[in-house]
Chain A
Amino acid sequence: MAELRNMSVTDSRTRSATRRVTAAPDTVISAENLTLGYGSFVAVRDVSLDIPDRKVTAIIGPSGCGKSTLLRAMNRMNDVVPSANVQGRLLYRGLDIYSPRCDSVELRLKIGMVFQRPNPFPKSIYKNVAWAPKINGYRGDMGELVERSLQHAALWDEVKDKLHQCAYALSGGQQQRLCIARAIALQPDVLLMDEPCSALDPIATARIEDLIDELENRYTVVLVTHNMQQAARVSDLTAFMYMGELVEFDATETMFTKPGRQRTQDYITGRFG
């Protein structure tokens, strides 16, 4: 239903800036006047935006601007915080993520997530990748799936001879790519990445960024980052958030060359943040 509707963004301040984006044919995730909070604290205020299919959308902004909260709402990972609350609507391909009809376990099969710090399980590399497909009743050849996932995560060549070693023997960057492999083994539709490089060194970061470029063909990627250069390098669209509000959302090129709003300009040029 939501897909059929004209995807206009209702927030007046962002309307002009997002016109081109909403013209995109396929919207995967759509926020409508979304307000998210923890207890009485409002982390995200009245945000409306549409995330298009098979594109990398970056969400940038200073610490505490609500970008991670917004991301974690998209696969209901905020549910683990007991005081989290939601107003407005968040749609995944027309399904209201926060309606009782939406099962969070099922949703997370479609919307995978990579966390800020690499968090492999204290098990072998193989088991890290194979566990989620196994519990979700994968019926194909598991070995093949593990290999394909590791290849897509650009990790296969480095680990193919030590699949049964503990994942903690890998470097931080390798662990993060293992976490990406683990997420894409479920063949999700969307991949949420919550500052995936913030705990990594520049070389490992560059590898993950290359990887994001490749993943774009297969998945819709939503990337939260506090690194503006990273957003500029890897994303097609960029959303800039400040103090819980969406300031501007546009094609990355536009955002970084001629942003529509002064605050975006100030942040991107490093005047604050």
Chain B
Amino acid sequence: MNAEPLDFQPGLARRRRAGRLFTLALTAAGLAGIGFLIVLLARVLWEGAPSLSRDFLANFPSVLNPPKAGVKSALWGTVWLMTMTVLVSVPIGVATAVYLEEHAPNNRLTRFIHLNIANLAGVPSIVYGILGLAVFVRWMHFDRSVAAGALTLSLLIMPVIIIASREALLAVPQSFRHAALALGATKWQTIRAHVLPAALPGIITGVILAVSRAIGEAAPLLMIGALTYVAFVPEGPFDAFTALPIQIFDWCDRPQPQFHHLAAAGILVLLSILLPMNAVAVALRAWHTRRKAWQNSGI
């Protein structure tokens, strides 16, 4: 043994102390997030639960009689809005991603489009509201209809859908494409039969997360002038509408405390739509990761 103890001063005690300190700090940071969520949920439950009833879902809002007010029009407005948003944004978004990932040549224009989509995903939603107001409400004369709202929200979430779909397509191994092409498949047959199915769970996850962003948006809808008091359910895409976040906003804005309880109940309704959607997205992603045999089949 010719170790020279003077060359090293391990200072183990100090290093362990620092390690413990950081573990503690990181745990605290993690718990803080959960803590805030619990406080938030508890407060909303406390305020809103008493107002929550079957009548709350079945009644229209009422300005004069808060105990009888409900979210029927807002709930149906949200359903209309989301259905149309998905119908518009998903086909265009996924098609754009397929084009960019499978067809577009790798040139300056393509890179410019990539960059812009990434930037668009970060644009504040109120800006999309201004755009929607100018283009859909005024220029295309959709007025304050479900169509105008859905198109505005579609613009808002399309970049998110494109980015998520691109990532999903990128994760499909190149060998699938080669295998299909070598078997005399055309490019479209390759994409249709092998690339899209393999990417589908990733795409769906992205769509769900994008829609759960859109479902809680109030700003762009207020910008295009969505109504805050609606006592009917939209019957077509060109009817006026309100939506859950707008209804909640409206109730919060009123001075009487009864309306604040209604707002909390509205939040609970919104959350009860949102949380299952997010849960599905998370479950889908977990299932997909396990199923992706091609990633961990160590041949």
Contacts and interface: CB of A to CB of B under 8 A. Distances in A.
B294 interface: yes
Interface residues of B, number: 23
B293 A115 contact: no
Interface string B231-267: 0000000000000000000000000000000000000
A199 B298 CA distance: 10
A108 B184 contact: yes
Main secondary structure of the interface of B (DSSP, over half): helix
Contacts of B106: 82
A84 interface: no
Given A82-B105, A121-B194, A168-B297, A115 B179 contact: yes
Interface residues of A, number: 31
B189 interface: yes
B109 interface: no
B185 interface: yes
Contact of A117 (B181, B189, B198, B299): B299
Interface string A150-192: 0000000000000000101000100100010011001000000
A120 to B, nearest CB: 8
Contacts of A135: 184-185, 189, 193
Interface in A96-140: 105-106, 108-109, 112-113, 115, 117-122, 131-132, 135-136
Contacts of B194: 121
Interface stretch (B24-32, B44-52, B170-178, B214-222): B170-178
Contacts of B186: 105
Given A135-B189, A166-B293, A168-B297, A121 B176 contact: yes
Interface of B: 105-106, 173, 175-186, 189, 193-194, 198, 293-294, 297, 299
25 contacts: A75-B182, A82-B106, A106-B184, A108-B184, A109-B184, A112-B182, A112-B183, A115-B175, A115-B178, A115-B182, A117-B175, A119-B175, A119-B179, A122-B293, A122-B294, A131-B183, A132-B183, A135-B184, A135-B185, A135-B193, A136-B184, A168-B297, A172-B299, A179-B179, A182-B183
